[in-house]
Amino acid sequence: MYFDRFDICEAYYLFAMHYHYGGDTYDGIFYRLGRMGFKPSPFLGCSDHPLWGLGSENAAIIYNNLVVNHRDSLGIEPELIPVEEAVL
């Protein structure tokens, strides 16, 4: 995993799409991404495959780390998607 601002924004956007329950997420992910000027691909998250549309393997790894690190606050046992299965 390496630092790439776009990969980080994509991963956080997809995480917020999958795990927010009305309104904004508990820590304002959509708000912060909007203030940064992030505009996601129209294809991001538009599939049955959870990682479809992410632009790189790095973004998929960041997404999986977000799910693992927030599983206690989400109140779920997350299903991680192998990065190799991500449609990039």
Print the domain residue range for 67.
5-85
d(CA 5, CA 24): 21
Cβ neighbours of residue 56 closer than 8 Å, sequence gap 6 or more: 4, 7, 88
So what's the pLDDT on residue 88? 47
Burial 47-77 (b: 16+ CB within 10 A, else e): eeebbbbbbbebbbbbbbebbeebeeeeeee
Give the pTM. Answer: 0.73
Q: Domain count for the chain, please give it.
A: 1
User: What's the pLDDT at 21?
Assistant: 57
List, for residues 17-58, the tens digit of each pLDDT value: 887 755 555 567 888 888 899 988 877 766 666 676 787 888
